[in-house]
Structure 1
Amino acid sequence: MKLRKVGTGLISVLALVAGMGMAQAKSDLTLAITLEPPHLDPTSAAAGAIDSVLYSNVFEGLTRFGPDGSVNPGLAESWTISDDGKTYTFKLHSGVKFHDGTDLTADDVKFSLDRARADDSQNAQKALFAGIESVEVVDPLTVKVTLSAPNGSFLFNMAWGDAVIVAPESIADIKTNPVGTGAFKFADWVQGDKIDLVKNPDYWGTPAKLDKATFKFISDPTAAFAAVMAEDVDAFALFPAPENLPQFEADPRFQVLVGSTEGETILSTNNKMPPLDNVKVREAIAHAIDRQAIIDGAMFGYGTPIGTHFAPHNPDYVDLTGNSQYDPDLSKKLLAEAGFPDGFKTTLKLPPPSYARRGGEIIAAQLRAVGIETEITNLEWAQWLEQVFKGKDFGLTIVSHTEPMDIGIYARPDYYFQYDNPAFNKVIEDLTAENDPEKRSSLLKQAQEIISKDYVNGYLFQLAYPTVANAKIKGLWLNQPTQANDLTAVSWEE
């Protein structure tokens, strides 16, 4: 009897220990972001907030960006490229289903690419598809894309959120009921508040570790701070109040991830407006700028100095900050050589983001110290787009270019900063036609060096991407190679 009693107690203790060890980790997550999407179709709007919720989570493309910026297979498990570099034959994964239960086939790929490149296409990045000459269905799982000319960036282009694969059956309601192939399914959208995603039990690839993910919209920095401190949200991506980050870093409940984005933040310069059309004047401006003072004053220390229009986390990045080091005496000397010993006046038109408004005041003071007076005008986004981006009515402005690896904009003479250099244009033309990785790397480095030495713009810093999260969350992206919050590998520590 006694032995039996001891045995029963031992069994009870073992059962209790086993039960404690088997306690499951939390399976839902609430991620706060500042901007709410205007709608949920990434193939018909420029709003990055759409991709920030849906990229990779709900929608997938033939290829996809990895957290390090690499281009990886997506819905295409493999591809071959013809010897002339003009034909890409994609082999799709088998067994892939859209969230409505329909099968993904080559017909859906043809529909998506033809829709994106159509004359009446509403795709915000229609240029990504401009080189496609034809899309042919070879068999249900094989599609052949023929380009009018070789394009070494084609696989990169297909990884953009604007190039995700959609189905004709669900396209009518895509703006309010997105149906993709991803590891999460769209569940609900309470406008002004949140979007709910749930795990896709039939996902073709590695299943999501979370059962549910909620994207909460909080734009006010004070409210953002309160929500994280109270643990009303589990994480906040691109936290809008960098001055509060040290407080979170000191709190063991949280982890602070400070990564980089594709956002090259620049003092954009009108290269056709006198005297800014003079390269010595532009060089003088560059040497008048103390990047670190701007990063410290406008971003509370968060940001990586850059000397060209390229993301520092990209493997092909060249550190060219030495071409434009802070040297006000050199700046004054260059101005005198350019015929402006007493300086000159120009305009500085600033869009709403704090990096522009705060940074603009600092830059204005730095330029004033070498004799350049700026007339500051604060503009709303719509005004900035109309006056600066479309109208080219500005001398200087500050903006962060968040598109991935967009150095090719410098080969567009009609672009708002109006830079036109045939040598640079040729490098980009060669880059587009080149498939060899080493040769592409060399061309990208040449491109960076040309615009740095032409002082096209004042290169300030790469916009930081601070995320505040519960210390037990793992799998969040550190950097932002594209505007996304990919939650497919996110989980809680057990």
Structure 2
Amino acid sequence: MPHFTRLFAPVAVLLCASAAQAQDSITVAIQLEPPNLDPTGGAAQAIDSVLYANVFEGLTRFDADGAIIPSLAQDWTISEDGTVYSFNIAGGVTFHDGTTMDAEDVKFSLDRARAADSTNAQKGLFAGITDITVNTPLNVQITLDQPNGNFLFNLAWGDAVIVAPESIADIASNPVGTGPFRFTDWVQGDRITLTRYDKYWGDTPALETATFRFIADPTAAFAAVMAEDVDAFVGFPAPENLPQFQADPRFQVLVGNTEGETILSINNKMPPFNDMRVRQAVALAVDRQAIIDGAMFGLGTPIGTHFAPHHPDYVDLLPNSPFDPARAKALLAEAGFADGFTTTLKLPPPSYARRGGEIIAAQLRAVGIETEITNLEWAQWIEEVFTNKDFGLSIVSHTEPMDIGIYANPDYYFQYDSPAFQAVMEELNATTDPAGRSDLLVKAQTIISDDYVNGYLFELAVATVAKADLQGLWVNQPTAAVDLTGVSWSE
């Protein structure tokens, strides 16, 4: 959810290592349980939280600093016209069921992702592929209809990991990948256990076992960390408690960036939100800083468009939607809603949504918009909001990197249909010149801000509370993942 973008269910990760526990074993609990374990067919961000880089790998991957680095593809060449990529696949790679991973599996995975009946949440990543040819068992050639400056970036997403036809039927409950950890067990409602894969083709991780557990309640999360029942909590859901941990020498507190644009999603096709004046009124009724302070205790960076502020091409469009309740009321009156109206506000489980929803409801009420709040579990949110588009307003954080392209899909859940924006994104995909791409990204950010597609709130921060002797955790989240491949205990 948006995996969809993959939508952020802020990941709370517990890494548990009691005194009796071996230093090569930790327990990792996340705040939200994945609805299934197929990153190539499900939209929930929690899927990648557990599986990205740990169980599944793609041709490329995101490094801790956000760089795109080789993964299953050791290297590649690109044709002079930018449309043909030839990937050399690492040798000696096996899936966790013992079958060989080769170029045929790459072709199978990408053909499956781009197929007409694909349920991949990010099919747009593969839209430009016209042909996939297996040249040798360790070389695959991918042809595009036009140059795409984002192609290696696209292949690093969790939606583009490599899977095998032998195990695909059960991937949602028994994922089989090529990563350093293999899936061992899933006790639904409680935990997922991963075990080091001894035949892993790459560097051996320090950890032998890792158990992800699901702890949704912020109070329970605080108690678990304070009692040292857990080793770390990534995406700690109660930021008001961070000062207490910072003052305690038993812990380290890491605060980093995510790619999560937290938005007040608006159903652009549902009346009255099909009137831009109403969408603008919603945007002007929202006090971002009050939400950041009240729901996130100051953690978060205000945004005026769907783009990460730490990206060099970010444009500060906050002046386009300042907090201005008087102007919001005037716009509603112009649109024929001087007496306001009532709509739905459907909230997924994350703290930013539940806490922020109450604050936004009060702000909207002040300009005449009443909201009927419904708290949904993640699977319900996916079905009602993301899939069926049965909502007026919602709050969600889109955590996949550089995902502004979702606005070019008129069938995406907020149903924005702009030929002008679509043309900009089409040109962007065909542009490789850095300066040209920067200009187009500025245009794209400005269009969706000027159209008030959604209420742009803040870029989600990620706070990690960990035991002092745990090392290798990501500080920032360049993608929505809890990468355990470099995690270890200090000597």
User: Which residue of the other structure, out of 268, 272, 294, is the alignment partner of 1:271?
Assistant: 268
- Equivalent-residue separation in structure 2 for 1:43 and 1:412 (angstroms): 19
Cα deviation, residue 232, structure 1: 1.6
Cα deviation, residue 341, structure 1: 9.3
- Equivalent-residue separation in structure 2 for 1:350 and 1:45 (angstroms): 20
Label 1:277 to 1:28 Cα distance change in 2 as closer, same or farther (>3 A). same
Label 1:277 to 1:218 Cα distance change in 2 as closer, same or farther (>3 A). closer
User: Which residue of the other structure, out of 369, 375, 379, is the alignment partner of 2:371?
Assistant: 375
- Equivalent-residue separation in structure 2 for 1:193 and 1:255 (angstroms): 26
Cα deviation, residue 387, structure 1: 5.5
Label 1:39 to 1:280 Cα distance change in 2 as closer, same or farther (>3 A). closer
Corresponding residue number in structure 2 for 1:136 = 133
Structure 1 contact 350–357 (Cα < 8 Å) conserved: no
Which is worse superposed, 380-389 or 73-82?
A: 380-389
Structure 2 contact 236–465 (Cα < 8 Å) conserved: yes
- Equivalent-residue separation in structure 2 for 1:55 and 1:174 (angstroms): 14
Q: What residue ranges of structure 2 are gaps of 5+ in the alignment?
A: 1-21
- Equivalent-residue separation in structure 2 for 1:101 and 1:339 (angstroms): 63
The answer to whether the aligner puts 1:451 opposite 2:439 as a matched pair is no
Label 1:277 to 1:191 Cα distance change in 2 as closer, same or farther (>3 A). closer
Amino acid across the alignment from 1:37: P
Structure 1 contact 346–395 (Cα < 8 Å) conserved: no
Q: What residue ranges of structure 1 are gaps of 5+ in the alignment?
A: 1-24
The answer to whether the aligner puts 1:255 opposite 2:252 as a matched pair is yes
- Equivalent-residue separation in structure 2 for 1:36 and 1:339 (angstroms): 42
Amino acid across the alignment from 2:455: G
TM-score normalised to structure 1 length: 0.85
- Equivalent-residue separation in structure 2 for 1:38 and 1:394 (angstroms): 21
Corresponding residue number in structure 1 for 2:86 = 89
- Equivalent-residue separation in structure 2 for 1:105 and 1:292 (angstroms): 50
Cα deviation, residue 275, structure 1: 5.1
User: Which residue of the other structure, out of 99, 102, 106, is the alignment partner of 1:105?
Assistant: 102
Which structure has greater helix proportion? Answer: 1
The answer to whether the aligner puts 1:482 opposite 2:479 as a matched pair is yes
User: Which residue of the other structure, out of 300, 303, 306, is the alignment partner of 2:300?
Assistant: 303
User: Which residue of the other structure, out of 31, 36, 45, is the alignment partner of 1:34?
Assistant: 31
Q: What is the count of residue pairs matched by the alignment?
A: 468
- Equivalent-residue separation in structure 1 for 2:169 and 2:383 (angstroms): 31
Which is worse superposed, 205-214 or 292-301?
A: 205-214
- Equivalent-residue separation in structure 1 for 2:71 and 2:428 (angstroms): 24
Provide Cα deviations, 1:88-119, integer angstroms capped at 9, x if missing partner.
Answer: 11111233333344443212212222233334
Corresponding residue number in structure 2 for 1:19 = none
Amino acid across the alignment from 2:71: G
- Equivalent-residue separation in structure 2 for 1:159 and 1:406 (angstroms): 13
Label 1:229 to 1:378 Cα distance change in 2 as closer, same or farther (>3 A). same
Label 1:91 to 1:287 Cα distance change in 2 as closer, same or farther (>3 A). same
Label 1:339 to 1:181 Cα distance change in 2 as closer, same or farther (>3 A). closer
Cα deviation, residue 306, structure 1: 0.9
- Equivalent-residue separation in structure 2 for 1:251 and 1:375 (angstroms): 41
Corresponding residue number in structure 2 for 1:411 = 408
Provide Cα deviations, 1:20-75, integer angstroms capped at 9, x if missing partner.
Answer: xxxxx933222221223344333333333222111111211001112233322111
User: Which residue of the other structure, out of 466, 469, 476, is the alignment partner of 1:469?
Assistant: 466
Label 1:104 to 1:297 Cα distance change in 2 as closer, same or farther (>3 A). same
Structure 2 contact 305–448 (Cα < 8 Å) conserved: yes
SS at match of 2:28: strand
Corresponding residue number in structure 2 for 1:213 = 210
Label 1:411 to 1:345 Cα distance change in 2 as closer, same or farther (>3 A). same
Label 1:285 to 1:116 Cα distance change in 2 as closer, same or farther (>3 A). closer
- Equivalent-residue separation in structure 1 for 2:196 and 2:376 (angstroms): 39
Cα deviation, residue 342, structure 1: 4.4
Structure 2 contact 473–484 (Cα < 8 Å) conserved: yes
Label 1:461 to 1:134 Cα distance change in 2 as closer, same or farther (>3 A). same
Which is worse superposed, 93-102 or 57-66?
A: 93-102
- Equivalent-residue separation in structure 2 for 1:283 and 1:173 (angstroms): 45
Measured on the aligned residues, the alpha-carbon RMSD in Å equals 2.8
- Equivalent-residue separation in structure 2 for 1:394 and 1:33 (angstroms): 27
The answer to whether the aligner puts 1:233 opposite 2:230 as a matched pair is yes
TM-score normalised to structure 2 length: 0.85
SS at match of 2:363: helix
Matches within 5 A, 1:24-103: 26-103=23-100
Provide Cα deviations, 1:213-238, integer angstroms capped at 9, x if missing partner.
Answer: 22222223332222212212211222
Corresponding residue number in structure 1 for 2:18 = none
